[in-house]
Amino acid sequence: MASKAAYKRLNREYATISANPPPYISAHPSEANILEWHYVLTGPPQTAYEGGQYWGTLVFPHDYPFAPPAIRMHTPSGRFRPSERLCLSISDFHPKSFNPAWEVSTILLGVQSFMTSEEMTTGSVSASEGERKALAARTRWWNSTGGGSTDRRLPGQQAAGSNRRGFGAIKGGDGGKKFKEQWPELDEENWKWMEEQKIDPQTGKSLVQTSCAPEMEGLRKRVGGSAAAGLGAVVDGGAEGQGFVRRNAMYIALGVLFAYVLVMRVVKEQ
């Protein structure tokens, strides 16, 4: 339960950030708990995250602003492990370094700045620019379908089995329920976008394509350090995405060597 000081401070900050939101940032507290804030970062132009819709949470302690919040980003980004607490100087990993003068907007600008850097910390992962761009293109689908765990279909789409497990879904996927509860207008926009682009809600792929787009091939390889519910689970990852030759390189090399030795023996016997 929030202290009186925290309640008063967070209400004031909500009024401020609503009236003057920082560039590419939206945020609001949960109706049920003022200590739980939901934010959406829009990927800034000229970055690997351009146009992406990155949803996360700030969970403040009862004695805020004298202690920092826990910071998480739920949407797979190629920068952070989904839903894992981030170790930043503005997060609850470093309470002694937190300045009570910092506000919600300061914290979110710090998250945005760290996201567009390459510095590593607890909760961050490494990925190529191509992988991050491919994930950015799927963020709206991921947020509104719970990573493909939704039962909802597009108008005229044939019935198919839903992806209950979800690709990169939060704890098995919720069909996009949590995102819709906090961001109903964005959720509606996302579904209109999926309908216009003919994106399959269960897979995130185009309904008019027969194979993956070229830019998605980079996602078939699990990004180092990602959790099972992270980048490697966002797409049909694993060994299927690797080529036959790459997976069997050792056996092929041994076969070639054996064939060479056999040929040389035949030549010598002649």
Residues 175 and 115 in one domain: yes
φ/ψ of residue 171, rounded to 5 = 50, 50
Residue 153 sits in which domain range? Answer: 1-237
Residues 266 and 141 in one domain: no
Residues 166 and 252 in one domain: no
Residues 37 and 128 in one domain: yes
Q: Which of 25, 59, 70, 87 is catalytic?
A: 87
Tokens linked to 131: 């992988």
Residues 110 and 12 in one domain: yes
Residues 81 and 204 in one domain: yes
CATH assignment of the domain containing 78: 3.10.110.10
Residues 160 and 248 in one domain: no
Confidence of residue 77 (pLDDT cuts 50, 70, 90): very high
Share of the chain above pLDDT 70, in %: 71
- The yes-or-no answer on residue 212 being catalytic is no
Write down the pTM of the prediction: 0.76
Mean pLDDT of 62-79: 97
Residues 181 and 54 in one domain: yes
Confidence of residue 191 (pLDDT cuts 50, 70, 90): very high
Higher pLDDT: 223 or 22? It is: 22
Residues 109 and 125 in one domain: yes
Residues 16 and 34 in one domain: yes
φ/ψ of residue 199, rounded to 5 = -95, 125
Q: What is the pLDDT of residues 110-166, one digit of tens each?
A: 999 999 999 999 999 999 999 999 999 999 999 999 999 999 999 988 765 444 443
Higher pLDDT: 202 or 159? It is: 202
Residues 157 and 270 in one domain: no
pLDDT of 87 reads 97
User: Do 115 and 77 meet the contact criterion of CB atoms below 8 Å apart?
Assistant: yes
